[in-house]
Structure 1
Amino acid sequence: MVNSAVGEKSPARKAIAAAQRVVVKVGSSSLTTAEGGLDHERLDALVGTLATQAEAGKQLVLVSSGAIAAGIAPLGLRGRPRDLATQQAAASVGQQALAHAYATSFARHHLTVGQVLLTTDDVVRRSHYRNARRTLKRLLALGAMPVVNENDTVATAEIRFGDNDRLAALVAHLVSAEAMILLSDVDALYDGDPRNEDSSVVPEVTSAADMAGVSVTSTGTSGLGTGGMASKVEAARVARSAGIPVLLTSAELAARALDGADVGTAFEATGAHLSARRFWLAHAASARGRLHLDEGAVAAVVKRRRSLLAAGVTGLEGAFEGGDVVELAGPSGAVVARGVVAYDAGELPDLIGRSSHELPPEQRREVVHADDLVAVR
């Protein structure tokens, strides 16, 4: 939905223009050549834009893809490798080149770069999550420019973010960002393939209705990255659900995007800013199992924000332990919430479906306490 008032910005664009702490994510295709290797001209242009914003007083965190793509040409590879070992080898070469290029380019603007490499383990584990949060915020306080990337050199298939769009959304919450900018090789979200003439730009996303009929791809067009429009839309959903507006556009329009200009697609924030713990529960932590709930328990947990009691549990999946994060699913099987379970999986079969007064005193505690619950959409 576009604001009909001439020259008036949407709430999302106003918020983005006013934001003083912004996470900017740039994709591989915007930093590298088609053959692999860094495109220093485009990297320098992006750095110049970010430096101008930093000089104006904004705090920026750059989430940058490109490590694997930057290692393709130096290693003589024909294209992006598919096997994990070669991807890690390319990342080990490309990450060094990428970090050096950023440090050199930002130094021309008298800005210091702090490289931060993350795997999902750094946000899935609660203690690591807190450490990453402290490190990033301290870098900003010291006036450095954090440059974040997934640690592709050591990340395995089991512990990968999968794409840096999701990583950017997690980082945006880690640093309490007021806006997130997603930069790619496409200038906006389209309702179809942007290469087709009959596809139209979706200028604003304020609700699910604005996404009706929109078809997005799960892979990028350049062949160098792992993301695609689907991953960007999902990253925008995660960020906006935590109160962070998002702008999606091309790297060439980065300067205008950061100024809140009428470019790209703006995603309006839909939820309040979540506490670090609740965001971690909702989006970062790995679920170790699943509890199935009856309709009454779903209403209590989701609508009334009550604790989950054994009486409302109808079944369970997984080999979780007390203190693990589990998903809570309704009768249809759809996940409605996530939370920290108080019992081991082996303890619950004798408890589920029973009222508290039917249980021994030592087993009358909540299955998942309200303070350790968060509804998911």
Structure 2
Amino acid sequence: MTGTGVRFERPRLAVVKVGSSSLRGPDGRLDRAQVAAVAEQLVAAQEAGTQVVLVSSGAVAAGMGLLGLERRPTDLPTLQACAAVGQGELIHEYQQVLARHDRAAAQILLSQDDFVRRARYLNARTTLRRLLELGAMPVINENDAVATEELSYGDNDHLAALVASMLEAQLLVLLSDVDGLFDGDPRVSSEVGLIARVDDVDALDDASIGGVGSYVGSGGMRTKVGSARVAVRSAAHAVVANARRPDVLADVLDGRDVGTWFVAQEQRLEARRLWIGFALRVHGQISVNEGAVHALRVGGASLLSVGVVHADGDFAVGDAVEVLGPDGRVVARGLSNYAVTDLRRIAGRSTSAAAEAFGSGFAREVVHRDDLVLL
């Protein structure tokens, strides 16, 4: 990207995620002025012709203020209590701004099951689309009072990517407290540079961005890169940018050279493979040999028992598993045709040998290629 022209056409629909670090003040509580600034930018985006769905963190910070807590809790029950108390306050802060523009905020709390169970998935999608038709602005958060993933790991990045895929948005905007993805850690060196454009998110690895200690190795940026991967495979662009940069959302939507741009793939991965690869919770790992990795990546084959070295976890038939290569890296995700105990029995055996030893029920693939997503 040279800075001339625009990155992409203005999207008809964008999913905007703002992280908790971008909505907390110096005291750790909700920064109401920042929430208002975000809301004003969302309204401006709508008025400029882009429908917007907001995925917002910040409920815990809001709850801390209402409960009189000086420090962010570290135990899960108190975190969830803060989220339960703060969620209403968070939506109220957004609604105050939207109401001045004759717009309504629609609170939506989602969990992983809403993406895994087809009936709930379709209902959530229908509801969100109808809200947009009515001119309301969906404000989405994970259901933190009963779920644990966002509070512990994802900070809503993954949720936002799944929402973008669900709605077939053209753009995912991840607003955070950093300017984008760097080729090193800007907290320890002033010599690192911002990566303005990523054409192949799967090519990002430790070697290409400064080693294990690079900034992408931090939990926050790792989840953003993972979320960008979901978006681009859904044929959506993704941009990581600083939430506190003036007019950041307007600049991103206009295709200006702001933050890190992850370029969308032309072909959208089919919904079922997106579901297998990114929505399902993984219940175990299957370690395979190099021959199996080659067969999966180059040959487009199913995973067979002869290539399995070991199986870990507690998975049953139909559960999602990760497939790990000899170096321990994730090669693919898929749905296992075996429970972990049965897979350990046949690991390393050919399909025919497994069937001969244990019966015709073992004459099947470990993971069929139709149930497999390469990562």
Q: Same fold by TM-score, threshold 0.5 exceeded?
A: yes
Which has the larger displacement, 63-72 or 100-109? 100-109
Instruction: State the one-letter code of the partner of 2:5.
Output: E
Tell me by how many angstroms 1:270 deviates: 5.0
- Could you say which residue in structure 1 is the equivalent of 2:70? 78
Q: How many residues align?
A: 361
**1:115 positional shift:** 1.2
Change (3 A) 1:330 1:107: same
User: What corresponds to 1:330 in structure 2?
Assistant: 325
Q: CA deviation at 1:342?
A: 1.7
In the alignment, what sits opposite 2:128? 136
Q: CA deviation at 1:196?
A: 5.7
| Equivalence map 1:105-120=2 (5 Å) | 105-120=97-112
Instruction: Tell me, yes or no, if structure 1 residue 346 matches structure 2 residue 341.
Output: yes
Partner of 1:67: 59
In structure 2, the CA distance between the partners of 1:34 and 1:200, relative to structure 1 (3 Å rule), is same
In structure 2, what is the equivalent of residue 305 of structure 1? 300
Contact 2:142 2:150 in 1 (8 A): no
CA distance in 1, matches of 2:95, 2:328: 49
What is residue 200 of structure 1 aligned with on the other side? 193
Residues 1:8 and 2:5 are matched in the alignment: yes
Q: Are 1:375 and 2:374 matched, yes or no?
A: yes
Aligned to 1:223: none
- Name the residue aligned to 1:152: 144
TM-score (norm 1): 0.84
Secondary structure class of the residue paired with 1:71 = helix
Whole-angstrom CA distance in 1 between matches of 2:294 and 2:266 = 20
SS in 2 for 1:18: coil
Report the CA distance between 1:51 and its aligned residue.
1.5
Task: Flag the 1:353–1:188 CA change in 2: closer, same or farther, 3 A.
Answer: closer
Per-residue deviation, 1:181: 1.0
Letter in 1 for 2:297: V
- Deviation of the 1:66 alpha carbon: 0.7
- Gaps (5+ residues) in structure 2? none
Is this contact kept in 1: 2:19–2:175, CA < 8 A? yes
What is the DSSP-based 3-state SS (H/G/I as helix, E as strand, rest coil) of the residue aligned with 1:342?
coil
Aligned: 1:51 with 2:67:
no
Amino acid at match of 1:212: I
For 1:256, what is the secondary structure of its paired residue?
helix
C-alpha separation between the residues in 2 aligned to 1:276 and 1:160? 27
Q: Aligned equivalents of 1:365 and 1:195: distance in 2?
A: 52
TM-score when normalising by structure 2:
0.84
**What is the deviation of 1:62?**
0.5
C-alpha distance after superposition, 1:218-273 (max 9, x if no partner): 77xxxxxxx74443333323433443221122223222122112222222235732
Tell me: CA distance 1:134–1:161, structure 2 relative to 1, closer, same or farther (3 Å). farther
SS of aligned partner of 2:140: strand
What percentage of aligned pairs have identical amino acids?
Answer: 47
Aligned residue among 231, 242, 247 for 1:239:
231
Could you list the per-position Cα deviations for residues 1-34 of structure 1 after superposition, in whole angstroms to 9, with x for gaps in the alignment? x33xx7233xxx21xx422111111123433432
Give the stretch that moved more between structures: 251-260 or 116-125. Answer: 116-125
Which residue in the other structure is 2:209 paired with?
212
Give RMSD over aligned pairs: 2.9
Q: Report the Cα offset of residue 126 of structure 1.
A: 5.7
- Give the 3-state SS of the residue equivalent to 1:348 in structure 2: helix
